[in-house]
Chain A
Amino acid sequence: MTSESQRLTRTMHLGGSARGETAYPIMELRNLDVYYGDFHAVRDVSLDIGANQITAFIGPSGCGKSTVLRCLNRTNDLVPSARVTGVIDYRGHDLYGPKVDPIEVRRRVGMVFQKPNPFPKSIFDNIAYGPRVTGMKLNKSETADLVEHALTKAGLWTEVKDKLDQSGFALSGGQQQRLCIARAIATSPDILLMDEPCASLDPIATSLIEDLMLELVSDYTVVIVTHNMQQAARVSSRTGFFSAKVDDAGQRYGHLVEIDQTTTIFTNPSDSRTEDYITGRFG
């Protein structure tokens, strides 16, 4: 099989993207293992991330969802003892290859955190920071346009357009999170990672951000970790279920149980553990 037809076969399994086209895998994880020192924390994860789709990772706490997510933009590197084996294939490039600069990776794979973390700067400077430090050479008016564009895409422009020089902390929790999303997309990333983005928000703010995700997906690929499986059911095209296992030595580790179209996971999962989690029998 040529690599082209290999890709095509996999697109059919990934199903449609948000735009209705068949999605191809923008990232492929093959036999990913994560170690912290000697501790083998996550074992043998293999999955595809479809372009312009929302992929959700669900499962109980401590099963490796966030760990795997943080490998996708190499922020796991910041933990001193962390080590990774296996392959993360990003558009044909090995994400952990020898010549790869993690900084370049993070410029293409953005991240939004669980608790909104605006910078102690003005709203304008929060958005403009990313482009400035990543070497986008923009003059004043170009920067202003970029800020407006990013805030508009994040659905925040009308609310803050008259107070761009106020501190980012002056916004409500939901607005701060949308600010962080705008900040992340201002650098034109390829993929947007979201680590439980609505965990600290009220239901109304949550639904605003879920709507936002569904709009963003036409321009970006989104991977989201969530504890709220109804959220996964609402927004994602594909869902991966992570769980914990205990090996022969008594060590607890995280692994991927199954990944499939969201509708399949929630109506007819292959693995009984997935079914138990979905129906609330455990977790």
Chain B
Amino acid sequence: MSVSTPWTIEGKNHERNFKSVMFLGLLWLSLFVAFLFLLILLVTTAMNGMGRYDLRLFTAYNNTTPADAGARAAILGSLFVVTVTALMAIPMGIAAAVYLEEFADRTKWYNNFIELNIQNLAAVPAIIYGMLTLGVLTIMGLKNKNVVIGGSIALALLILPVVILTTREALRAVPQEIRDGSLALGATEVQTVTKQTLPAAIPGIATGTILAVSRAIGEAAPLLLLGALVFITYDPNGLLAGFTTMPIQIFGWTSAAQAEFKQIAAAMSMVLLIILLGMNGIAIYIRNKFAKRW
């Protein structure tokens, strides 16, 4: 044993040295900056919209005069289109996820191919779904592409992979013991899925579908290709009616020549933000509240 340095377990704090503190500071800064961006975006948009938080925003149709313009057609359009989207994408997405997670034999090549395929589709840029919809509508015999059903198809195709992936996550989180217990009692596989696995996965599925629907509400790119940037002065009244949606309307107003349109664009943005952040908040709340400790 050396005599020069006395043996001790006290000394300088290695967690508090300069590098560690700097490191932690940088990390904390990244988080802070992310929040800061969010805050600035919300505040500036809110301020930019000052002056147009009025009832006319919701009740008036679009107009060439900024002061008279409103988003009524866009709001109704969004409501209509996204409802049909949800009706198409959610049941099919859940069904596909149930098949892949509960019934598919993983050794079969075609099942792996389907899985790979869905993962790919989830990463395809939104605008390409617009192109696909153009083709689909042509096959359906519709020359005019600006139809509600077109918008719904485009958005449903877009969010279908998301619904499938999040539902699969929710099903995967249900412990295998529950399925084993049900099968051991003599229940069939379908009974086990419908009476045990699916009910147990509902909070996760709800979270996923809410997030998927909110994505559909906020998406504009595929609809641009369908000609949704159009001047609509009536309430959409059928699957073949012309339509526009809130994000498209915001896009139109933002790129308009007159600067005053920027104001109403900002006001509408705040409305859209409140809706979407509200939905996201609900989804996250559901996820946290019902996260089961198995």
Which A residues form the contact surface with B (CB < 8 A)? 73, 75, 78, 80, 103-108, 110-111, 113, 115, 117-120, 129-130, 133-134, 180, 183-184, 187
Inter-chain pairs besides A111-B184, A117-B175, 17 sampled, C-beta below 8 Å: A75-B183, A75-B184, A80-B106, A80-B107, A103-B188, A104-B186, A106-B183, A110-B184, A115-B177, A117-B178, A120-B292, A130-B187, A133-B182, A133-B188, A180-B181, A183-B181, A184-B185
* Nearest opposing residue in chain A for B174, CB measure: A120
B187 cross-chain contacts in A, Cβ below 8 A: 103, 129-130, 133-134
The 5 closest A-B pairs by CB, nearest first: A107-B186, A117-B177, A106-B186, A130-B185, A111-B184
B185, A75: Cβ atoms closer than 8 Å: no
Residue of B185, B195, B200 with most partner-chain A CB within 10 A:
B185
* Nearest opposing residue in chain A for B186, CB measure: A107
Complex CA–CA separation, A115 to B178 (angstroms): 11
A183, B200: Cβ atoms closer than 8 Å: no
Complex interface residues of chain B between 176 and 231 (CB less than 8 A to chain A): 177-178, 180-188, 191, 195-196, 199-200
Expressed in whole angstroms, the minimum distance between the Cβ of A187 and any Cβ of chain B is 6
B105 interfacial contact with A, CB 8 Å: yes
A111 cross-chain contacts in B, Cβ below 8 A: 184
Expressed in whole angstroms, the minimum distance between the Cβ of A77 and any Cβ of chain B is 10
Complex CA–CA separation, A80 to B177 (angstroms): 17
B181 cross-chain contacts in A, Cβ below 8 A: 113, 117-119, 180, 183
Which B residues form the contact surface with A (CB < 8 A)? 105-107, 175, 177-178, 180-188, 191, 195-196, 199-200, 292
Give me 25 A-to-B residue pairs in the complex whose CB atoms sit less than 8 angstroms apart, sorted by A's number: A75-B180, A75-B184, A80-B106, A106-B186, A107-B186, A110-B185, A113-B180, A113-B181, A115-B177, A117-B180, A118-B181, A119-B178, A119-B196, A120-B199, A120-B200, A129-B182, A129-B195, A130-B185, A130-B186, A130-B187, A133-B182, A133-B185, A133-B187, A134-B185, A187-B185
Complex CA–CA separation, A207 to B93 (angstroms): 49
Expressed in whole angstroms, the minimum distance between the Cβ of B22 and any Cβ of chain A is 46
- CB-based A-B contact count at 8 angstroms: 67
Expressed in whole angstroms, the minimum distance between the Cβ of A107 and any Cβ of chain B is 3
Complex CA–CA separation, A113 to B105 (angstroms): 25
Complex CA–CA separation, A75 to B188 (angstroms): 12
Complex CA–CA separation, A130 to B181 (angstroms): 10
B196, A103: Cβ atoms closer than 8 Å: no
Expressed in whole angstroms, the minimum distance between the Cβ of B207 and any Cβ of chain A is 17
Residue of B106, B180, B181 with most partner-chain A CB within 10 A:
B181
* Nearest opposing residue in chain A for B194, CB measure: A133
Expressed in whole angstroms, the minimum distance between the Cβ of A235 and any Cβ of chain B is 21
Complex CA–CA separation, A78 to B105 (angstroms): 11
On whether A120 and B178 interact (CB within 8 A), knowing A106-B185, A129-B195, A133-B186, the answer reads yes
* Nearest opposing residue in chain A for B195, CB measure: A133
* Nearest opposing residue in chain B for A135, CB measure: B186
Expressed in whole angstroms, the minimum distance between the Cβ of A72 and any Cβ of chain B is 11
Complex CA–CA separation, A117 to B105 (angstroms): 25
A187, B186: Cβ atoms closer than 8 Å: yes
B182, A184: Cβ atoms closer than 8 Å: no
* Nearest opposing residue in chain A for B175, CB measure: A117
A115 cross-chain contacts in B, Cβ below 8 A: 177
Residue of A73, A108, A120 with most partner-chain B CB within 10 A:
A120
A117 cross-chain contacts in B, Cβ below 8 A: 175, 177-178, 180-181
B196 cross-chain contacts in A, Cβ below 8 A: 119
On whether A113 and B177 interact (CB within 8 A), knowing A120-B200, A120-B292, A133-B191, the answer reads yes
Expressed in whole angstroms, the minimum distance between the Cβ of A125 and any Cβ of chain B is 10
Expressed in whole angstroms, the minimum distance between the Cβ of A74 and any Cβ of chain B is 10
* Nearest opposing residue in chain A for B188, CB measure: A103
Complex CA–CA separation, A73 to B185 (angstroms): 10
Complex CA–CA separation, A183 to B186 (angstroms): 12
Complex CA–CA separation, A13 to B222 (angstroms): 78
B199 cross-chain contacts in A, Cβ below 8 A: 120
Complex CA–CA separation, A103 to B188 (angstroms): 6
Complex CA–CA separation, A130 to B186 (angstroms): 7
A113 cross-chain contacts in B, Cβ below 8 A: 177, 180-181, 184
